Amino acid sequence: MKIKVIILSVLFASFFYLTFLIKDLASLSIPKINPKETIYLSLEMKRREVEKAIDMLKEDRTEEAIIFLKDERLSDNVFAKFYLGLILFETGKEKEGLELIAKSIKEEPVLYDGYYPDNVRRILNIVSDKIIGRDEFREYRHLIESKLKGGCG
């Protein structure tokens, strides 16, 4: 009889303990994941892949940067497309460069998002200023300016 009482009291105490734990778990809120933060993290990983080429550009090693950015492994990297387009634009292949820049900002709107810390808005402003008044690049200028102003382009 004593064993039955001990077993029942242990079961009874365990039941109340588990009920108390479940009540505490139910009161906890599940943190919401911001989808933009996920995009920012994936873009940051893509940017780090291209970091070496960005450093090469800062050191005026343009040819090496072009070779690096044309690597097949970076074919789906929007930063690689953008910076390759920028290099082509700056080295005289303006049409090809603007085509790649336009393709990359259409493909990934976060590139020019003001809240994204490594956005390319400053570079887009410089490119836009360089093509002002040139009719053959009017569509690219319109696209870049509309993206910078927050339009759909």
Torsion of CA 19, 24, 26, 32, to 10 degrees: -160
- Interval 125-142: pLDDT, tens: 888 888 888 888 888 888
Q: Thinking of the domain 34-149, which architecture would CATH place it in?
A: Alpha Horseshoe (1.25)
Domains of the chain, residue spans = 1-30, 34-149
- Interval 17-68: pLDDT, tens: 888 778 777 677 777 777 777 778 787 888 788 888 888 888 888 888 888 8
pLDDT at position 150 = 73
Q: pTM of the prediction?
A: 0.69
Q: Quickly state the pLDDT bin for 151 (edges 50, 70, 90).
A: low
- Interval 91-123: pLDDT, tens: 888 888 889 888 888 888 777 777 777 778 888
